[in-house]
Structure 1
Amino acid sequence: MTIGELLKEERLAKSKTQKEWAGNIISTSYYAKVEKNKHRITAEDLLVLLHLNHIDSSNFFQRLENKQDLIHEQEKNWGYLATNAVYHHDIAALKQIIQSIKDSELPQDKKAADVLEVEGMIETLRVNLEKNYQPNIKLQQKLKERIFNIPNFTKLKLQLYCDFMDFYDLEANKQIIKQIIKEKANTADNQIMLAVSAIINNFISSSMSQNHYDGLDYYITLVDQMPQLPELYLIKSSIAVHKYLIDYHFHKDEKYLDYCWKIAAGYRLTGMKDFGEDVATFIEQEKKKVADN
């Protein structure tokens, strides 16, 4: 919740018009835009406004903080549910999350941004799962613009790019990753390392799916050189599958397939059945390519 939204809530609770509420502190037209989050109000004017309408300022700011904390927890929960839905290829669950966001008390601009991200997740699933699906180019462009408009490779920008890098072609991804590596290669931030390694993992997988194998050992080495951290285990094991499949592609040695099947079995044994099935499907696809050649 924003300051403008909480002011509106307080005003309506006291059954006052905007003109009565704003008094002579700021113009009614300006105040109306504050409530709509189109204008900001200065700290000085806000305090005078609260005093004029007999609102305790400490209570007002505490309510604002509490509501913002609640919204933050809601967003974290939506993020968890969305990740789980993508993992299980559950488009219906993602649509329910979109409705929950629309029904929430988030500011309109934040609602639009969060809905766009979940719609992007649905788009990614449909592109990857539905054979005759016609990509929503307009939606994909909106997501690219959202990513592009974030300055520098922050955690948010890296996460968004990782989620939606399927919307870029292979050469564009290669150039973007080059910039990411240049900027973040020496980071000590575990979350940044996780995001970068996930991006590299997705790029390797996409490259292999498009029959581009040369030069991928460079990216594999980058992830191999990252510290052995618990949060990096899943990505590192996935990178290992790619490494062994690339070895199999070039050397045709069955031992590399055996290594891959053991990793896939490990996923299933540790409760990651869907992920294990996806890895098994990828192994079969790469195995078929070698057989066909």
Structure 2
Amino acid sequence: MEIGEALKITRKKLNLSQSEMAGDILTKSYYSKIERGIHEINARDLIDILNLHGIRIQDFFEEFNFEKNTFGKSNFDNLHRLVGNAYYQKDTDGLLKVIDAIDKFPNSQNNRLARGLRVEAKLLYQGLKYGPEKIDDETIREVKQLMFNSDNWDELSLTLLSVSLSFFKNDELSAIIKAIVTRNKPDKLTSRNREIVSSILINYLAYSYNRKITKGAALSLTFSWLSELDSSPKNCLTKIYANYFQMLLSGNKEKANQIRQFLNDNGMEDLTRYLAR
């Protein structure tokens, strides 16, 4: 169930209008679009609305996911979406609110999913607040511990790797990338894990370009893996990014600039702003 739909059900149970549910936190118009699934709600606003009406976020998720007094996969999925939204919107307060919400689950200290999401939110918070170079050693150690505390590259391990590439030396990261692409063929992955691996590989291409690494087995395997993605709409942007970095790494900046301009011409300036040049 989407968060907007869950909010609508909760509002009706409380016998509130949309204006009363949104309070002073959101306009009625914007809140209405969240209930209808047109807009997503960010972490800070969701938690503030729930607090306004005396609803704990863990109770809110548990009611709609039937996971009583525990942190489970559906809690992870919902809160992870909030973490992603908060990071994209540079909302450090939202990230702190998600961390606080995770801590309130009774089993969060001993639950790998809860600990993984918490340290991801913490890492992103520190990166936004102080800069990537100021992320503390304890957070980096916890990320690596959780990432490698599994025999397989599961969703959590892949997610943590996607936000921590810059912490690794090139030889370490090259070995990790080779392991991932050889063990996880695109057609064998769930759609979610395929999306995460695609993100990791695009970030690895940016990592390589920024460090002037233009050759190597890991790079060749990366481009080969990305070329195996089908040409469905959900993979289009990934394939464009792969082509962009292939042009950069081969020294064809003129072609790379054409790709960047194409994205800008189609209203994607927010995405190209963070692309390596």
TM-score range, shorter chain: 0.5 to 0.7
Once structures 1 and 2 are overlaid, which stretch shifts more, 187-196 or 134-143? 187-196
Over aligned residues, Cα RMSD in angstroms? 2.8
| Distance 1:158-1:219 versus aligned 2 partners, 3 A rule | same
Q: Matched residues in 2 for 1:240 and 1:68: separation?
A: 46
Q: Matched residues in 2 for 1:123 and 1:169: separation?
A: 21
Query: Matches of residues 226-241 of structure 1 in structure 2 within 5 Å?
Result: 226-241=229-244
Residues 144-203 of structure 1, C-alpha deviations (whole Å, 9 max, x = no match)? 011111111223322222222222122211001111122113643233332222211111
* Aligned partners of 1:237 and 1:263 also within 8 Å: no
Amino acid at match of 1:66: F
Q: Matched residues in 2 for 1:259 and 1:113: separation?
A: 35
Does residue 275 (structure 1) correspond to residue 271 (structure 2)? The answer is: yes
| Distance 1:167-1:68 versus aligned 2 partners, 3 A rule | farther
Aligned counterpart in structure 2 of residue 245 of structure 1, from 248, 252, 257: 248
Tell me which residue corresponds to 2:225: 222
Q: Matched residues in 1 for 2:209 and 2:267: separation?
A: 21
CA apart distance, 1:90: 2.5
Q: Percent identity between the aligned chains?
A: 19
Q: Matched residues in 2 for 1:137 and 1:220: separation?
A: 32
Amino acid at match of 2:66: N
CA apart distance, 1:139: 1.3
Query: Matches of residues 124-139 of structure 1 in structure 2 within 5 Å?
Result: 124-125=127-128, 129=131, 133-139=133-139
CA apart distance, 1:121: 2.3
Amino acid at match of 1:157: S
CA apart distance, 1:126: 5.2
Q: Matched residues in 2 for 1:191 and 1:100: separation?
A: 24
Larger Rg belongs to: 1
Q: Matched residues in 2 for 1:234 and 1:114: separation?
A: 26
Tell me which residue corresponds to 2:120: 117
Amino acid at match of 1:161: L
* Aligned partners of 2:155 and 2:193 also within 8 Å: yes
Tell me which residue corresponds to 1:262: 262
* Aligned partners of 2:80 and 2:117 also within 8 Å: no
| Distance 1:87-1:136 versus aligned 2 partners, 3 A rule | same
Corresponding residue SS for 2:274: helix
Tell me which residue corresponds to 2:175: 175
Structure whose residues are more often helix by fraction: 1
* Aligned partners of 1:91 and 1:122 also within 8 Å: yes
| Distance 1:210-1:165 versus aligned 2 partners, 3 A rule | same
Tell me which residue corresponds to 1:156: 156
Q: Matched residues in 2 for 1:258 and 1:114: separation?
A: 37
Query: Matches of residues 200-211 of structure 1 in structure 2 within 5 Å?
Result: 200-211=201-212
| Distance 1:96-1:235 versus aligned 2 partners, 3 A rule | same
Amino acid at match of 1:275: L
Amino acid at match of 2:164: F
Give the alignment's TM-score, normalised by structure 1. Answer: 0.61
Which runs of 5 or more structure 1 residues have no equivalent in the other structure? 1-62, 284-293
Query: Matches of residues 81-100 of structure 1 in structure 2 within 5 Å?
Result: 81-100=82-101
| Distance 1:274-1:92 versus aligned 2 partners, 3 A rule | farther
| Distance 1:236-1:69 versus aligned 2 partners, 3 A rule | farther
Q: Matched residues in 2 for 1:85 and 1:134: separation?
A: 20
Corresponding residue SS for 2:67: helix
Q: Matched residues in 2 for 1:177 and 1:156: separation?
A: 16
Q: Matched residues in 2 for 1:68 and 1:219: separation?
A: 41
CA apart distance, 1:119: 0.9
| Distance 1:226-1:114 versus aligned 2 partners, 3 A rule | closer
Amino acid at match of 2:166: D
CA apart distance, 1:113: 4.1
Q: Matched residues in 2 for 1:185 and 1:201: separation?
A: 16
Which runs of 5 or more structure 2 residues have no equivalent in the other structure? 1-62
Query: Matches of residues 48-87 of structure 1 in structure 2 within 5 Å?
Result: 66-68=66-68, 72=72, 73-87=74-88
| Distance 1:105-1:275 versus aligned 2 partners, 3 A rule | farther
Amino acid at match of 1:236: K
